[in-house]
Every structure is written in C-alpha cells, then in structure tokens.
Homo-oligomer: A and B are copies of this chain.
Amino acid sequence: MTACPQDEPQQLGRVARKRQRRVNEILRVAAQVLSERGYYNTSLEEIADRLDLAKASLYHYFDSKESLLTTCLGTVAEESITRLTTIASGTGSSPERLRGLIIEQLRIITVEYPELARLFLAHLEWPVTVRERISDWHTRHDAIIKGVIEEGVRSGELGDIDISVVRHNLTGALNFVPFWFHPEGRFSDREAFEAVADSVLLMFGVGAPPTPA
C-alpha cells in the first residue's frame, strides 16, 4: 500500500507499471500544489481536482496526506543525495569537487525541482513526523558536502577555516537561491550557478579575492 516513488526500471507486471505511472503523476501534481501553497494550504481536494480525480481515490495510492507529501519530498531528497554522492566520490581536487557539488545542488533546487526545494526550509509548518524525516535528509545531505570540505581542509587545498561556520553559510546561501533566481534572467543558468559558486567559494579561500575595478 505504501507507494514506491521513483521510476526505477523495475521488472514489474503491466499492472504494476501502470500503477507506478499513476503514482508518479500524482506525486508530480502534489509537488506542484505543495510548492505553490505550502503544507497546510494544500488540500487533498485540490490535488485531486487537478488530477481530475476524486479525493477518495488518492487513498488508493497513499495512506494519508502526510504520506503523500512526505513521499514527494523523499523523491527529491533521495535523488539529490544520490547525485551529490556520485560527484563527491568522483575524481578531481577537493575544490573542484566542491564546486561541482555546489553547481549540481543549485541545478537541482532551482531548475529541476524549483517547487520543492524551498519546502525543505519551512520546518515549522510540517507535522513533527515529517520534520524529523526532513532532518534526516538534511543530515545525510550535509554529510556529503561536509566530507569533501574536511578532506580539502586536511589536504590544504582549502583554507584553514572554521568548517562548521563556513559550511552553514554555504548552506544558507545556496538554499536561498531558489527564492531569488529566475531562469530567464540576464545570465544563462550555468553562468548564474557559476557566479554563485565562485562567490561562496571565496569563503573557503578558493579563487582570487575580488579587487576594486
């Protein structure tokens, strides 16, 4: 009864695949509404309406509002963690990988899942149970970046900084991006992400400090 979010290419029967598709469709719409309205302003009625479905039908796929919305977030979180892990454990110097992580992270939260990203911040409005799961994801997520940073500091590729302070600043700055960045700006996405990355990397002693024009 618990829904499996991702579109893993499992070897499932025709029915199971169809169900999977339906679940994903629901998740997509739910994510949309969720990101427009926030948790408590999102009613199952609305999600159902947009799907041209009866409210009760949602319960065929999810046990509760909470489980539906948690799954939404979970999908993004896991996807994101997976990708970052790949980059973090890749080749290249610490600063290079850190830069890669930053840019990838920005792509995820601004381009791919612009709606959901900001939800990870709105701690207060979620039910406690969900908040805990969000916390977990944050922890795992942070651990990845933290790993690369520590490595870089140890190897001398990054400056000798107070890791925890700087890392928090990094997180704050990155998570804030979806709040101001709009795809159709003067820069291409890539350029914008690189601008942000180069800016925040200065806090790690990476890159040449900007000097007066």
Contact = CB atoms under 8 A, between A and B. Distances in A.
Interface of A: 35-41, 118-119, 121-125, 153, 156-162, 165-166, 168-177, 179-180, 192, 195-196, 199-200, 202-205, 209-213
A213 B196 CA distance: 26
Contact of A176 (B122, B172, B205): B172
Given A38-B124, A122-B124, A173-B173, 12 more contacts: A38-B125, A40-B41, A122-B123, A153-B212, A165-B195, A165-B199, A168-B180, A169-B200, A172-B172, A172-B176, A172-B179, A175-B176
A176 B166 CA distance: 12
Contacts of A38: 122, 124-125
A213 B156 contact: yes
A176 B180 contact: no
Contact of A210 (B119, B160, B175, B199): B160
B41 A124 contact: yes
Contacts of A204: 210
A37 B169 contact: no
A168 B124 CA distance: 23
A160 B212 contact: yes
A166 to B, nearest CB: 5
A161 B199 contact: yes
B200 A203 contact: yes
A213 B173 contact: no
16 contacts: A39-B125, A41-B124, A118-B123, A118-B124, A122-B124, A153-B213, A159-B209, A166-B199, A172-B172, A172-B177, A200-B203, A202-B202, A202-B205, A205-B209, A205-B210, A205-B212
Q: Point out which of A37, A122, A169, A200 has the most chain B C-beta atoms below 10 A from its C-beta.
A: A169
A174 B176 CA distance: 10
